[in-house]
Amino acid sequence: KQEVTQIPAALSVPEGENLVLNCSFTDSAIYNLQWFRQDPGKGLTSLLLIQSSQREQTSGRLNASLDKSSGRSTLYIAASQPGDSATYLCAPTDSWGKLQFGAGTQVVVTP
Amino acid sequence: DAMVIQNPRYQVTQFGKPVTLSCSQTLNHNVMYWYQQKSSQAPKLLFHYYDKDFNNEADTPDNFQSRRPNTSFCFLDIRSPGLGDAAMYLCATSAGGTGRTETQYFGPGTRLLVL
């Protein structure tokens, strides 16, 4: 069974600092990996999807890397803003399209 | 503009009183998912439909049922809610399936409170 761990569980940074969020997973036989953002009491918003054959995916200030063989993915957020405050979840996907979520990293960016 | 819509956003029910949560989508995706998310926990997949084919997760309690009358709509029925069923229920869709790699799109969720 896939186990997904996200470290740290919570993170607080001043505005402008870069954020580094880590995700590790135990089963490297994944089809892809998605990063999501969740605001308090809301649904999930997909940020990035990395195919298993890719090493990296970028969207604006977001960059996600994937090392499938070692079971790791990292989400980098450059020049953080207060609006980046949210919980970030990673979710490897199996070949059936099923996501296995980590518990998330709660991020607070202070002005 | 909304793509995955969930109604109601908040639902209060009594212990043991059946409740139905609704999800609709304008994306014409063939796969629809229901997740349960308890406070500060990861979302947990309950079941999903690939077209009309229903796929139940092994550890989903029998108390939870689902219906998908057409491509656009999917319902979650909780036959006899217990206090432990209080959670956020998330609906998601994707154009994916076996061997596909499509993004899942989530609705805003329905927060269920059981009194």
pLDDT tens across A39-88, in order? Answer: 988 889 999 999 889 999 999 999 999 999 999 999 999 999 999 999 99
Q: What is the mean pLDDT of chain A?
A: 93
Inform me whether the C-beta atom of residue A71 falls under 8 Å from chain B C-beta atoms.
no
Nearest C-alpha neighbor of B42 from the set B10, B74, B90: B90
> In the structure, what pLDDT confidence band is assigned to residue A26 with cuts at 50, 70 and 90?
very high
- Alpha carbon distance B54, B17 (integer Å): 24
Chain A residues in contact with B42 by the CB 8 A cut-off are 4, 89, 101-104
Q: Does A59 touch chain B (CB under 8 A)?
A: no
* Residues of chain B in Cβ contact (below 8 Å) with chain A: 4, 6, 31, 40-45, 48, 88, 90, 92, 94, 96-109, 111
In this predicted structure, what is the pLDDT of residue B1?
64
> Sign of the CA dihedral A87, A33, A21, A103?
positive
- The CA-based angle B84-B103-A99, given to 5 degrees, is 40
Region for residue B46 given its phi and psi (left: phi exceeds 0; alpha: psi -120 to 50; beta: otherwise):
alpha
Is the alpha carbon torsion for A39, A41, B90, B22 positive or negative?
negative
DSSP letter for each residue of B43-64: -EEEEEEETTEEEE-TTS-TTE
pLDDT of residue A25: 96
Residues of B in contact with A4 (CB under 8 A): 42
pLDDT at B2: 64
For strands B10-13 and B110-114, give the pairing.
Answer: parallel
Is residue A101 scored above 90 in pLDDT? yes
| Distance between A87 CA and the closest CA of chain B, angstroms | 10
Going residue by residue through chain B, which has 115 residues, state the pLDDT in tens, using 9 for 90 and above.
669 999 999 999 999 999 999 999 999 999 999 999 998 889 999 999 989 999 999 999 999 999 999 999 999 999 999 999 999 999 999 886 555 557 889 999 999 999 9
Q: Of the candidates A89, A95, A104, which has its C-beta nearest B98's C-beta?
A: A95
Work out the burial of residue B107: count CB atoms within 10 Å of its CB; fewer than 13 is exposed, 13-18 middle, 19 or more buried: buried
